[in-house]
Amino acid sequence: MRTVTVVGASLAGLYAARALRAQGYDGRLVIVGEEPHRPYDRPPLSKGFLTGATGEPDLALADAEEETALDAEWLLGVRARGLDARGRTLLLGDGRSVATDGLVVATGARARPLPGAEGLAGVHLLRTLDDARALRDALGGPARRVVVIGAGFIGAETASSCATLGHDVTVVETARLPLLPQLGPEMGEFCAGLHARRGVRLLTGVRVAALRGRAAVASPRITAVELADGRVLPADVVLTGIGAVPNDGWLAGSPLAVADGVVCDDGCATALPQVVAVGDVARVGGVRSEHWTGATEQPAVAVRNLLAGRTVAHVRRAPYFWSDQYGVRLQFAGRRHDGDTARVVEGSPDEASFLCHYEHAGVTTAVLAVDRPRAFQRARRDLGRAGATPTGQQRGRSARPGSSALSTSRPATSL
C-alpha cells in the first residue's frame, strides 16, 4: 500500500497512526479531522477541564516530536463527506479528495441533541473541546442553577464538577436509577447515593417535556426545564447528556455496512477490502464500545489486519471503563448482563470503597471497584485468565486460558 488514510484525528485515529508506523508501514500517511484541533484527550473535559484543574496543554495526546516522527499529512478542520470505493477515493467536505489504498475509519461519535434545544442559549452538549470551552465559560462567575439531563457518565461527571464549583445542581434521569444498564440496580443505588451525599438533587423515572426560554438580544435563553410530571426546574445552564450517535452518516451510499456504527468482524475489518474501523464509530463483532480503552486497544489489531490484507488478529480484551464522580473512582471490567448477581466481596458501599463481582451461574462475568485500585487490578487479571472472549462471542465461549490476545481467523479480501 502506498497511501493509508485515517479518517478521524481522534484518540482512536492517533493510535491507528501510531500502530501503522510501529508495525512497519512506511508509506504515505494522511490523517483527516473534522475539528481544527490536533488529537486531544476527552475524558478530562467533563472533570478537570471544567473545574480548572486541567489546562488545554494537558489535553494534548502527542507532542511535536511524536508528530514529526509519525511523518503524517494532517488535514484538519475538514470533514469526510463520502467514500468512492470503486475509485479508492475519500471525498472531503471542502471539495478535495484523497486517493488511498487503505482506510481506517475513526470518526467517533457526536453527542445526541435534545429535541427542542436548537437555538436556545444556555443549553450545552459536552463532547468536543469547543463544547467544553463553552460550558466552562458558562459556569464561570457566581453560582448558577444547573440542570443536567441524563445521569450517565457524562451527566454524572459534569454534575460532580458543577457541584465542586459551587453551583446548584439537579440531575434528571428517565430510568429509575443512574447507570442502570451499565451497573445494574444494586450499584445504581450506590451511584444515586453519591449524588445525594454532595447535595445534588437526583430526579429519576421522569422525562423532560420541554425547555422554556425568554427572549434575549441574540437568541432565546434557557430559563427552566419542564418535566413530564408537571414540575418546573428553574435553570440558568442546562447540560444534555443523553448518549451519543456514531459519526457514520458520511458513509451513506458506500458499500460499507452501517448499523448504529460501521459493522466489523472481531478484528475491526469491514466487508469492504482494505477498510477497517476503530473507536466509537466501530461496531466490532456486534458490539459498539464508547470507552477510552476500546479506542486505544482496537487500532493495533485493526492495523495488523489492514496490513495483512486479511483478519489475522482479534480484539479479545474484556471491556474496561472508569469514571470519576464526587471524589471517588469507579472502575469496571467485563460484561454485565441483566439477571447477573452483584456481590460485594471487599469493603462496603457505605464507606464508598469496595469491590463487587457480577456473577452468573457461579461464574464472574464482570467486576466493579470503587476506590479499590489494587483489588480491581487483581480482579481484572483474574477475569482475563478465566477466558477473555472475542468481542462478538456469546457468554460461555472463551479463549484458552493464557492464550495470546491475537489469534488467527478467516481471511479477508483487500481493497
Domain co-membership, 127 together with 182: yes
Domain co-membership, 152 together with 103: no
E strands within 281-335?
A: 282-284, 287-288, 320-325, 328-334
The pTM of the full predicted model, rounded to 2 decimals, is 0.89
193 occurs within a structural domain: yes
Domain co-membership, 142 together with 227: yes
φ and ψ at 219, to 5 degrees?
A: -160, 160
356 occurs within a structural domain: yes
Domain co-membership, 102 together with 250: yes
Domain co-membership, 258 together with 234: no
For 361, which DSSP code? T
Domain co-membership, 32 together with 69: yes
CATH number of the domain encompassing residue 80: 3.50.50.60
Determine contact, residues 299/19, Cβ cutoff 8 Å: yes
Closest CA to 177 of 144, 138, 146, 205: 205
Q: Which three cell numbers stand for residue 81?
A: 463527506
Q: Which three cell numbers stand for residue 65?
A: 516530536
316 occurs within a structural domain: no
State how far the alpha carbon of 308 is from the alpha carbons of 13, 24, 42, 102, 104, in Å: 19, 12, 31, 11, 14
State the amino acid at position 406 in one-letter form: L
Domain co-membership, 131 together with 207: yes
Q: Which three cell numbers stand for residue 175?
A: 430510568
Please list, in sequence order, all residues whose beta carbon lies within 8 angstroms of the beta carbon of residue 191, skipping any fewer than 6 positions away.
151, 156, 177, 178, 179, 183, 325, 330
Domain co-membership, 277 together with 232: no
394 occurs within a structural domain: no
State how far the alpha carbon of 235 is from the alpha carbons of 127, 299, 414, in Å: 21, 42, 54
For 400, which DSSP code? P
- Structural domain of residue 363, as residue ranges? 327-385
Q: Which three cell numbers stand for residue 157?
A: 461527571
The count of domains in the chain is: 3
List the pLDDT tens digit at each of the 415 positions of the chain: 899 999 999 999 999 999 999 999 999 999 999 999 999 999 999 999 999 999 999 999 999 999 999 999 999 999 999 999 887 899 999 999 999 999 999 999 999 999 989 889 999 999 999 999 999 999 998 999 999 999 999 999 999 999 999 999 999 999 999 999 999 999 999 999 999 999 999 999 999 999 999 866 567 999 999 999 999 999 999 999 999 999 999 999 999 999 999 999 999 999 998 999 999 999 999 999 898 999 999 999 999 999 999 999 999 878 899 999 999 999 999 999 999 999 999 999 999 999 999 999 999 999 999 999 999 999 999 987 765 444 444 333 222 222 222 222 333 333 4
Domain co-membership, 103 together with 252: yes
Separation of alpha carbons 34 and 42, rounded Å:
15
